[in-house]
Chain A
Amino acid sequence: DGGITQSPKYLFRKEGQNVTLSCEQNLNHDAMYWYRQDPGQGLRLIYYSQIVNDFQKGDIAEGYSVSREKKESFPLTVTSAQKNPTAFYLCASRPERGARSEQFFGPGTRLTVL
């Protein structure tokens, strides 16, 4: 089945450790996105990528890093520099650039930093 997978569903890490969240899509979509959700807030954009080997910072990129070496993969690393990393992280993809194409979302990863 075509779709977006994120793993793991739940992730626990100790403070000060870097952690990488996986996002894979087999939809052949060009664009991929990472969002963060906190209680009482809307989805906020961390990073996005329109094409392989290119990515752009979103509104809250500080303390995060990404790579886009393959079209189907867009991993997100939460570094120790991220001051408040505990949150729900959603990955999404879109078939093309432009505002008319909808986003397709993965199931999300809930990260808890102890």
Chain B
Amino acid sequence: ILNVEQSPQSLHVQEGDSTNFTCSFPSSNFYALHWYRWETAKSPEALFVMTLNGDEKKKGRISATLNTKEGYSYLYIKGSQPEDSATYLCASVPNTGNQFYFGTGTSLTVIP
């Protein structure tokens, strides 16, 4: 079982603030890192899939970086909006390629 940790556990920010959270994962046998957004009463949806050290991905105001050597990924949200309120999950996939190991998530609340 891989230990994937996310911090902080929860976060409240004002509308317009920028924020970031961390996902830590074992760097050995690493293959891929996934980020998902899970809004209340909906299904989790994929944000990014990252595989290479130094990878940077961007989707609108949300971006992510990956450091496979030290085993962490950052998710950034620029100018947070109330619709960004959700739980953000990361999942590490080892080089067997079949099992996803999820962190406990970071719950973001954006206050209008």
* A-side contacts of B1, CB under 8 Å: 59
Chain B residue at minimum C-beta to C-beta distance from A107? B43
Chain B residue at minimum C-beta to C-beta distance from A60? B1
State which size class the interface on A falls in. 20 to 34
Chain B residue at minimum C-beta to C-beta distance from A59? B1
Do B99 and A58 touch (CB < 8 A)?
yes
Do A42 and B46 touch (CB < 8 A)?
no
Q: How far is the CA of A4 from the CA of B44 in the complex (A)?
A: 12
Q: How far is the CA of A33 from the CA of B43 in the complex (A)?
A: 14
Q: Which of A14-22, A75-83, A92-100 contacts B (4 or more CB under 8 A)?
A: A92-100
- Say yes or no for A89: interface residue by CB 8 A criterion: no
What total count of A-B pairs have CB within 8 Å?
A: 62
Q: How far is the CA of A45 from the CA of B103 in the complex (A)?
A: 12
Interface positions of A from 1 to 52, Cβ below 8 Å from B = 4, 31, 33, 35, 40-45, 48, 50
Do B49 and A102 touch (CB < 8 A)?
yes
A84 to chain B, nearest CB (A): 18
Partner of A50, one of B43, B46, B98: B98
Do A45 and B99 touch (CB < 8 A)?
yes
- Say yes or no for A74: interface residue by CB 8 A criterion: no
Q: How far is the CA of A53 from the CA of B98 in the complex (A)?
A: 17
Q: Which 5 A-B pairs have the closest CB atoms?
A: A99-B32, A102-B46, A99-B93, A42-B102, A105-B43
